Amino acid sequence: MDYQVLKKNFENHRFHTSYFETKEEAVLYLKEKIQGTTVGFGGSVTSDEMGIYDALKENNTVYWHWKEKGRETLKAAQSAEAYILSANGVSETGEIVNIDGTGNRLSASLFGPKRVFYVVGKNKIAPDLPSAMKRAKDVASAKNALRLKKNTPCAANGGDKCYNCNSPERICNATVILERPCNGMEVEILFINEELGY
């Protein structure tokens, strides 16, 4: 991962960036940055692997539907002061790609929270936007469908790639390409020099 390239291109697109060698360093940084407020989480294997929820719930009110099921949790997460999520694909040219089944993660990344933090492992980074989009479909979405045991061709075939199916259990219903932070939002990307999530 060439952080200097990522920093230059993302900061040219008005994103804030930071770099960490380990997930533990990134978690400590988030604990310092986010205190005494409300925090929402999007579905994220990366966040789960990092233990961010447990770290932040010590000094914040935290909402994550992976920990407390229900639509009310989803709504509370959307209106939290800060929001934590990862990305399905990140381009070196400065764009973030995310795909969602329900839409809660995408909508909260675009409107609602004042501060949004993306936690991104080096495995999520692709050279350009087309390859980031391909990664989001063929790697992240397919592996997530397999993890969730969805009745989809990608899951049935071991999470090998996207088949652009029409299954009712399809989890890639909406795609967002974030080119710049939305108005009124402060967005920071934490680049972590480890493989995290899908």
Residue 158 region, left (φ>0) first, then alpha (ψ -120 to 50), else beta? left
Collect all residues with Cβ–Cβ distance below 8 Å to 141 and sequence separation of at least 6.
88, 99, 154, 162, 171, 172
In this structure, how many other beta carbons lie within 10 angstroms of the beta carbon of residue 165? 17
At 133 the pLDDT is: 98
DSSP result, 86-107: --SEEETTS-EEEEESSSHHHH
Cα distance between residue 82 and residue 62, in whole Å: 10
> What local confidence, expressed as pLDDT, does residue 1 receive?
82
| Ranges in the chain, pLDDT < 70 | none
In angstroms, the CA 135 to CA 126 distance is 8
Residue pair 27/53 in contact by the 8 Å Cβ criterion: no
pTM for this model (two decimals): 0.95
How far is it, in rounded angstroms, from Cα 162 to Cα 133? 11
